[in-house]
Amino acid sequence: MINLNTCILLVVCVLTTILAYWFRIYFKYRSKFNGKIPSLPMVPIMGSGYIITTPQELYKRLLEYRVTNGSKIQWAIFGFEGFLLVMDAKFSEVILSSTKILNKAHSYTYLHHWLGTGLLTSTGSKWKKHRKILTPAFHFKILEDFIPSFNTASDVLVDALIKEVGEQSTNIFPYITLCMLDSICESAMGTAVNAQTDTDSFYVHSVKHMLRIIVERTLSPMGQFNCTYQLTNNYRVERKAVNILHNYTYSVIKRKKEELKKLNQNGNTQNYDVDEIGMKRRKAFLDLLLEYSMVEGNTLSDEDIREEVDTFMFEGHDTTAAAVSFCLYLLSKNRDCQDKAFAEIKEIFADDKDRKPSQKDLQDMKYLDLVLKESLRLFPSVPMYARELTEDLKYDDLTVPKGTTVLLLAYVMHLDPDYFPNPKQFNPDRFLNNTEINTFSYIPFSAGPRNCIGQKFAMLSMKSTISKVLKHYDLYPVDHELELSSESVLTSRNGVKVQIRKRIW
């Protein structure tokens, strides 16, 4: 038996080793940055984590220390990892425009069980190859095929919201989330999961579980290391959820490939562009991937295709849901802007309120485009971007060590008065002249080589949904202050609430 003194000695040795390791990291960064840039407050082992204990506190604290420290570049240690916090457009340009600083941060590995190494999480030659293959899928002409999916999902949304008319307050976020999940599923795979009508769907629940687990892993000491994460209940829930998600995607891939195989056998692959009655077939993202995989030099395995489809699902679902919800919230608070957006929509559709919007209609919504851009400035769906340095980086008189995680804080930059006068004011007109806005101070879709490949798709999807809601409903403000939280995307812990009334056309 091990006696008490031995146990105490072991504990002391372990704690001493952990403290020594932490201080080694601390002095490494202090020697590089001390006197050049300020740091967030820190304590041993926890680092700066002790001042940010919940996702809701993250941006509140970062904004506070941005003002207190008076610097747009700061450093911190969270746990045993060194971070450079960047709120400066010039430094952002250095990171985002680099063709070498392309590796995502360690936390992105939490997505690997679900997404594998798709475009979001891959690096090196695989990322370059897939980026080149996937870029044509978001060409202007291809995007037209996705418009009917947007329309179908938003029609269901409008019907679902009717029961909220007359209520004093409605949290629109759950409605919008399910709508965008329907839209992205049909766009990605060409199949309907009916998230808005079948709330018991295993697929829908599995997506929700994965989004929750990714956030909890980031914040949990047990979740940050694979060896301890496998002891948690979240690990068991994740395995089950991933199995459901992968089986669903693989089943759709198998069915689509069988359709193509039959056409190949008959020598009629060109007929894949039309359906059985001769109408143009609505192609999903998966259809395009299968076609590209048949081109010489573009060979993609079923796993490659599954990873990219699942990545498209993940990136296009929560991000657009958050953006649409915040935009509708801001329109409810700004009557003049809502009236202008509705007037533009009414002018486009004239007396034909129920006409389905075309791609041209959505492009003609110029003012709504400004509204969305300003909404994404105030509430960027992806509030920060993380890169891991694979070699030392020199910037002015700073040397940022290899292994540092660089956090580009889009949310904080978007509220910087040096870049945006009266930054907390909702003013869509500030985007009338884009040349006055620094490309790297406004990054709702990131920038540079790893910018969001689907940003045009996202803008069309969001404009389609918002315009459909404004066609049918008038939005009014309620006594509700958002409690912003950094989760898988920027969200509000207490919902996104408005009052909904029937619109008089």
- Tens of pLDDT along the chain (505 residues)? 567 888 888 888 988 888 898 899 899 999 888 889 999 988 888 888 778 777 677 788 888 888 888 899 999 988 788 899 999 999 999 999 999 898 888 878 888 999 999 888 888 888 888 888 888 888 777 888 899 999 999 999 999 999 999 899 999 999 999 999 899 888 888 888 888 888 777 888 888 888 888 877 776 767 777 888 899 999 999 999 999 999 999 998 888 888 877 776 666 555 455 554 444 556 788 888 888 777 766 678 889 999 999 998 888 888 999 999 999 999 999 999 999 999 999 999 987 888 999 999 999 999 999 999 999 999 999 999 999 999 999 998 899 999 999 999 999 999 999 999 999 999 999 999 877 788 899 999 999 999 999 999 999 999 999 999 999 999 999 998 899 987 778 999 899 999 999 998 8
* Rg value, the chain, Cα: 24
- In 3-state terms the chain splits into helix, strand, coil percentages (rounded to 5) of 55, 10, 30
CA distance 145 to 274: 12
pLDDT of residue 267: 60
Residue carrying the six token digits 């945006």: 420
Residue 110 contacts residue 219 (beta carbons within 8 Å): no
- The length of the chain is 505
378 touches 388 (CB < 8 A): no
What residues pair up with 406 in beta bridges, in sequence order?
84, 387
Are the beta carbons of 195 and 201 closer than 8 angstroms? yes
Place of tokens 């070699």: 391
**CA neighbours within 13 Å on the CB side: how many for 131?**
16
**Whose CA is closest to 470, among 378, 360, 334?**
334
Asked if residue 32 lies in contact with residue 397, where contact means CB atoms within 8 angstroms, the answer is no
The pLDDT of residue 278: 44
What is the reported pLDDT for 161?
97
273 in Cβ contact with 280 (< 8 Å):
yes
Beta bridge partners of 400: 393
Which residue has 């000695």 as its token pair?
Answer: 9
Positive/negative CA dihedral, 19, 392, 51, 380:
negative
Homologous superfamily of 80-502 in CATH?
Cytochrome P450 (1.10.630.10)
Count Cβ atoms below 10 Å from residue 401 Cβ, excluding itself: 17
Amino acid at 357: P
